[in-house]
Structure 1
Amino acid sequence: MGSFFDRIEINPIIAAINELDQLDEALDSPCEIIFLLTGNIFNLKEIANRVKSKGKGLYIDIDLIDGFSKDTWGLEYIVKNIYPDGIITSKENLVRLSKDLGSFTILRLFVMDSISLKNGIRSIKTSRPHAVEIFPGIMPKIMKMVYEKTNTPIIASGLIMDKEDVIEGLNSNAIAVSSNNKNVWYMEGS
């Protein structure tokens, strides 16, 4: 079992699971890391066990898991009882709390305009996540700018549809790309 960065070196493509029927295919794919964007209080432990049994890294988007409050207690329960490799969130306070709990943190940043970009850069500098997931992931200029201003590893996500998007993302200072498109999962070594 390797760290996030070790796994990304092996394969920079991350399988993002937003429907549970995608899980088996993601587990059989060459992707080393699974971003879990669905699940609930009743099935999260089972999902985590399945991912771990396949030797994959599991990063849970705490904002999207049903049945947990999106606060200190829900996060602490997941970190201490589900044992993910990391937490994904769009909330600065949960990034800081995840780090305090010893978890790897990924801040989700949705860039819709110049104001969200400015606020996002401020948020990265304030919360200091281990990595930042930028949406949409097809904005090379923006990814380069965020990296230059924060020196934080970037993951390109959202609207990654083909090999060209993967290559463009990786050439824009992104260390990885995340996609729920099953065809993208098999572009190992792009």
Structure 2
Amino acid sequence: MDVNMKHTFTKTLEDCPVIAALKDNEGLEQCLSSESSTVFILYGDILTISDIVNRVKECGKLAMVHVDLISGLSSKEISVDFIKKHTKADGIISTKPMLIKRAKELSLYTVLRFFVIDSMAYENIEKQCMNVKPDCIEILPGIMPKVIKKICNTRDIPVIAGGLISDKEDIMQALDAGAVSISTTNPKVWFM
């Protein structure tokens, strides 16, 4: 992926920092009228993912598929090839560095997701980022301003804060700590 594509992705996140994260068709319908320019697709299966992505793309939004959560896909690199070949997705989200690496080879945007539950998980972030160089990382839960700030200050990779974000105060604290954007499955937050 060239530097301009990565810059475009980061700029999109900065310009509209609330990412609609979808967990069902009801959320899909709601997000289509939101101002969110980026959509994280956290549901579907190999028969429906193309249609879900198409609905998002028809509204002019970036579609990022969380490949780990799509039923019928494995944890192997071939799953990323499937997304590239059979959908119009702009990129993927995954907790699996090898899938991020494959997506980069296919010129897809990449978000490496981390659950920061303890110091070992925190220390793993640097190691994984150096190995696969994702376009962004997403840390969960996203309501940890101190941790967000520490991660933002030690890495040159844009950070998305996700999980448990429920109001404007949570958004502002995450952005003030250095996150470029937040992701949430809460439709009320999409329309703030």
Scaled to the shorter chain, the TM-score interval is over 0.9
C-alpha distance in structure 2 between counterparts of 1:74 and 1:91, whole Å: 12
Letter in structure 2 aligned against 1:85: D
1:12 pairs with 2:14: no
Partner of 1:111: 116
SS at match of 2:165: coil
Corresponding position: 1:101 with 2:109: no
Contact 1:58 1:84 in 2 (8 A): yes
Whether 2:48 is the aligned partner of 1:43: answer yes
- 2:30 aligned residue: 25
1:3 alignment partner, SS class:
helix
Q: In the alignment, does 2:75 pair up with 1:70?
A: yes
Give the equivalent residue in structure 2 for 1:53. 58
1:131 pairs with 2:116: no
Q: Note if contact 1:87-1:106 (Cα within 8 Å) is conserved in structure 2.
A: yes
Identity %: 38
What is the TM-score of this pair, normalised by structure 2? 0.93
Shift of 1:16: 0.4
Residue 95 (structure 2) pairs with residue 80 (structure 1): no
Instruction: Decide whether the 8 Å contact of 2:77 with 2:98 is kept in 1.
Output: no
Deviation at residue 59 of structure 1 after TM alignment = 0.3
State the 1:3 CA deviation: 3.4
Whether the aligned pair in 2 keeps the contact of 1:138 and 1:165 (CA below 8 Å) is: yes
Q: Distance in 2 between matches of 1:72 and 1:129?
A: 15
Which residue does 1:176 correspond to in 2? Answer: 181
Residue of structure 1 equivalent to 2:152: 147
Report the Cα offset of residue 52 of structure 1.
0.8
Does the 8 Å contact 2:19/2:39 carry over to 1? yes
- Partner secondary structure for residue 15 of structure 1: strand
Aligned residues: CA RMSD: 1.3
Find out whether 1:90 has 2:95 as its counterpart: yes
Moved more, 128-137 or 138-147: 138-147
Q: Which moved more, 1:55-64 or 1:3-12?
A: 3-12
Q: How much has 1:108 moved relative to structure 2? A: 0.2
C-alpha distance in 1 between matches for 2:8 and 2:55:
18
SS in 1 for 2:114: strand
SS at match of 1:28: coil
Q: Unaligned 5+ residue runs, structure 1?
A: none
Amino acid at match of 2:186: N
The answer to whether the 8 A contact 1:125-1:150 is kept is no
